Amino acid sequence: MTALAFVGGTGPLGRGLGLRLAMAGHSVVLGSRSAERAEGVAAELDAPVGGTDNAAACAGAEVAFVTVPFEGQESILPTLGRELEGKIVVSTVVPMAFDAGGPHPLAVSEGSAAEQCQALLPGSRVVSGFQWLPAPTLLKAEVVVEMDVPLLGDDEAAVEQVAALARDVKALHGFMAGPLRLSSTVEGLTPLLISVNRRYKAHTGVRFAGLARD
């Protein structure tokens, strides 16, 4: 059992992935700017999940997932540097916007949201992944979500620990895919998949065909 926190965990991905990891036996606490809101959202999930403010959630965690909107991380993450010092931080953040032409990636001066996360939290071990999991489906506890989860990071041991967490969730295949500087591509797959899904009224996921599974 690993103690997990979700920064900005009251959104769809925090709730959905938090639920699945709690179902897998991990200790999960959703963080929010408002402890009351986090407690209320956590109490509605179909598994024992805690809720508190972001700093308290991170202070008690071994691994923290960042599930804030991209626009929010530059203000939120620096306030958590002490709580996250030396810990594994999983960036799930997608720099993306929508306009009349549909979804599109936003340029990030650091290269990607995950690299920006690492720059904002220099004492943490950042791993990038989980960007295009279907959050609403994760919330349906009875549905098996079969998906490849490529993970990127410069700390191999940290990536392996996150891959093991992913694999604790049935049918999620977490695996080390490369260094953090390749993160912009996996982040960009979210707007690409939304574009494809809108056009074909489909629910596609990306699968790395030809890779051995567990």
For binding to a second copy (CB under 8 A), which residues are involved?
101-102, 104-105, 107, 111, 150, 175-179, 181-182, 184-186, 188-189, 191-193, 195-196, 199-200, 202-212
**Minimum CB distance to a second copy, residue 27 (Å):** 31
Per DSSP, which regions of 1-80 are E strands?
Answer: 3-7, 27-32, 50-53, 63-66
Closer residue to a second copy in complex, CB, 82/213: 213
Distances (CA, A) of 201 to 105, 178, 196: 21, 32, 8
Residue matched to tokens 């904002």: 120
Considering the complex, state which of residue 122 and residue 210 has its C-beta at the smaller distance from a second copy. Answer: 210
Strands (E), 94-193: 96-99, 102-105, 125-128, 147-153, 172-178
Q: How far is the CB of 140 from a second copy (least distance, A)?
A: 16
β-strand pairing of 63-66 with 3-7: parallel
Of 35 and 108, which has the nearer Cβ to a second copy? 108
Q: Measured from the CB atom, is 74 or 146 closer to a second copy?
A: 146
Distance of closest approach, residue 197 Cβ to a second copy, in angstroms: 8
Q: Is 78 helix (H, G, I), strand (E, B) or coil?
A: helix
Supply the minimum distance, in Å, between the C-beta of residue 162 and a second copy.
16
**183, 156 in Cβ contact below 8 A?**
no
